[in-house]
Structure 1
Amino acid sequence: MENQLAWVQSACARVLRPVIRLALTMGLKHPQLDELLRNLLLEEARRLWQAEGVAQPNISQLSVTTGLNRKAVTAKVREPAEALPSTEVSAAAKTFTLWLQMHADDPGQRRLPMAGEEHALSFEKIARQATRGNWHHRAVLDELVRLKLVTELDDGHVELSADGFVPHADLQSMLAFLGDNTRDHLLAAVSNVTGDRPPMLERAVYAKGLTLQDCETIHALVRQRWSTLHHELTEQMNRAVDTAEGTAPGRMRVGIYTYFENADETAGAGGPRS
């Protein structure tokens, strides 16, 4: 048991190191991180007890499970407000993704009229289809322009300015995607370790001893292959959502990542060891 706890602690250190790097870079200090950890411990402890059939675990149960004293458990009287938007319900993301899908089928659709005839393709028509008519196309366009993903032209046309929904111009949105994408990646990995359900796809390939130019070349290859797979996945997911009329309970996220660095520089700067 002692060995297992040490293994888990080491794994958590590897997972949390980038989180700590983000926190310190963005100005979070120990008090905020301590409060965050306590809240998450209690939320997950409640989830564990509820999975065992205990609808409302008491203070003693939460204290034993988390290792927090009863006073610390009692002090959490309200849920913290969610400060980041959900990436799963963004009208801008849905519209951009649909447009990108159409552009993959027909490269000539990178530039479209803002509005057009009833049967002609336009940004207005794409936005209406993507948001099921719940958002005005002008509001969706303003958001995409703000994120520097779409350019509005003077002749009444709009044009794609990016090849993926990565809103570099909006820190809040970038952090929301970081949180949602990384959370689901780790949920798949944790589920595979705990054996809660059949194994999910969660794989990576690793090599050491490459030149940085090799890394760049491989990165470009992954981007190219992902573009094709992204197109196929989006098409199939859209069909599935349409068939279920958007009311089925399942949610799914499929992602991919690459990361490379100069390991000599990282080691010289006292980089990751866990």
Structure 2
Amino acid sequence: MQDRLSWAQSACARVMRPLVRLALGMGLKHPHLETMLRDLLLDEATRLWQRQGVASPNISQLAVTTGLNRKDVTARVRRPADPLPHTELSAAAKTFTRWFQLASQDPALQRLPVASTGQGLSFEDVAREASRGDVHHRAVLDELMRLGMCVRVDSAQVELTSEGFVPTADLQSTLAFLGDNLRDHAGAAVSNALGEGPLMLERAVFADGLSETDCDMVHQLMRQRWTAMHRELVGVLSEAITRNGAQGPKRLRVGIYLYQGDREGEPE
């Protein structure tokens, strides 16, 4: 049992090291991280009990599971609000994905008139379809332009300029994507390790002794392969969402990553 705890602690430390680097780089201190960890422990413990059929675990159950004292559990029964947006829910993300799919099928659609004219597809049409009319198309366009996803050609036309919805021009959105992507990547690995269900795809290739040129070559290769796969996935998933009337019970995130670092001095 002690070995099991030690192994788990070591695995958590490896996963958390870059997150601690992010926290320090953004100015977070130990009290911020301690508060966050206590909240996460309580939240995940509640989910654990609920999966075991206990709809509302009591204070004692949560205290035993988390190791927090009863007073601390009582003070944290309310889940804190998340200040970051949910990346998969925004009208801008949905509009970008739909526009990207259409432009992949017909490159001429990479440039669209902003407003509907009744003579061919417009950005207004795409935004209305993607957001189901819940958000005005000009608000969606403003957000995509702010995030650097598209640019105005002139007062009447707009052009898609990105091949992926990764808004690096906005820190809040960048951190939201970082959180969502790493959460689901780690979620797949943890589910596999705990045997919570059928094994999910989670693979990587490691090599050392490489030159900077070697790394750049592989990086470019993976970008090219991902671009092709991304276009195919968008088409397949969009068709599935349409077929299910967007009412299916499951969600899916597919991603890819490449990390390049120094061979010596890399922390374990």
For Structure 1 versus Structure 2, the TM-score category normalised by the shorter chain is over 0.9
C-alpha change, 1:53 and 1:116, in structure 2 (3 Å) is: closer
CA contact (8 A) 1:212 1:262 kept: no
Aligned to 2:241: 241
- 2:151 aligns to what SS in structure 1? strand
User: Quick check: 1:158 aligned with 2:153?
Assistant: no
What amino acid does structure 2 have at the position aligned with 1:37? L
Q: CA deviation at 1:119?
A: 4.4
What amino acid does structure 2 have at the position aligned with 1:118? G
CA contact (8 A) 2:91 2:135 kept: yes
Q: CA deviation at 1:116?
A: 4.2
Q: CA deviation at 1:147?
A: 0.9
Q: CA deviation at 1:99?
A: 1.4
- Structure 1: gaps spanning 5 or more residues: none
Q: How is 1:223-238 mapped onto 2 (pairs within 5 angstroms)?
A: 223-238=223-238
Q: CA deviation at 1:109?
A: 2.5
Identity of aligned residues (%): 59
Aligned to 2:72: 72
Deviation sequence 1:112-137 (CA, Å, 0-9, x none): 22124324022112112221222211
**Which shows bigger deviation, 173-182 or 76-85?**
76-85
What amino acid does structure 1 have at the position aligned with 2:134? N
Aligned to 1:104: 104
Q: State the distance in 1 between where 2:10 and 2:262 align.
A: 23
**Which shows bigger deviation, 142-151 or 129-138?**
129-138
Deviation sequence 1:212-259 (CA, Å, 0-9, x none): 111111011111111111111111111111111111211111111111
Aligned to 1:10: 10
Q: State the distance in 1 between where 2:55 and 2:156 align.
A: 56
Runs (4+) of structure 1 moved beyond 3 Å? none
What amino acid does structure 2 have at the position aligned with 1:174? T
Deviation sequence 1:51-104 (CA, Å, 0-9, x none): 111122122111111111122212214221110011111111111112122222
C-alpha change, 1:119 and 1:243, in structure 2 (3 Å) is: farther
**Which shows bigger deviation, 42-51 or 106-115?**
106-115
Q: How is 1:19-38 mapped onto 2 (pairs within 5 angstroms)?
A: 19-38=19-38
Aligned to 1:213: 213
Q: State the distance in 2 between where 1:54 and 1:187 align.
A: 22
**Which shows bigger deviation, 183-192 or 77-86?**
77-86
- 1:88 aligns to what SS in structure 2? helix
What amino acid does structure 2 have at the position aligned with 1:39? D
User: Quick check: 1:258 aligned with 2:251?
Assistant: no
Greater relative contact order, per chain length (Cα 8 Å cut-off, separation 6+): 1
Q: CA deviation at 1:106?
A: 2.4
Q: CA deviation at 1:155?
A: 4.5
What amino acid does structure 2 have at the position aligned with 1:12? C
**Which shows bigger deviation, 193-202 or 156-165?**
156-165
Aligned to 1:272: 267
- Structure 2: gaps spanning 5 or more residues: none
Deviation sequence 1:138-195 (CA, Å, 0-9, x none): 1110001111111112241111222211111111111111111111111110110111
Q: State the distance in 1 between where 2:222 and 2:62 align.
A: 44
CA contact (8 A) 2:23 2:29 kept: yes
C-alpha change, 1:128 and 1:66, in structure 2 (3 Å) is: same
Aligned to 1:179: 179
Q: State the distance in 2 between where 1:61 and 1:116 align.
A: 58
What amino acid does structure 2 have at the position aligned with 1:272? P
Q: State the distance in 2 between where 1:134 and 1:56 align.
A: 35
Aligned to 2:88: 88
- 1:112 aligns to what SS in structure 2? strand
What amino acid does structure 2 have at the position aligned with 1:128? R
C-alpha change, 1:107 and 1:72, in structure 2 (3 Å) is: same
User: Quick check: 1:142 aligned with 2:142?
Assistant: yes
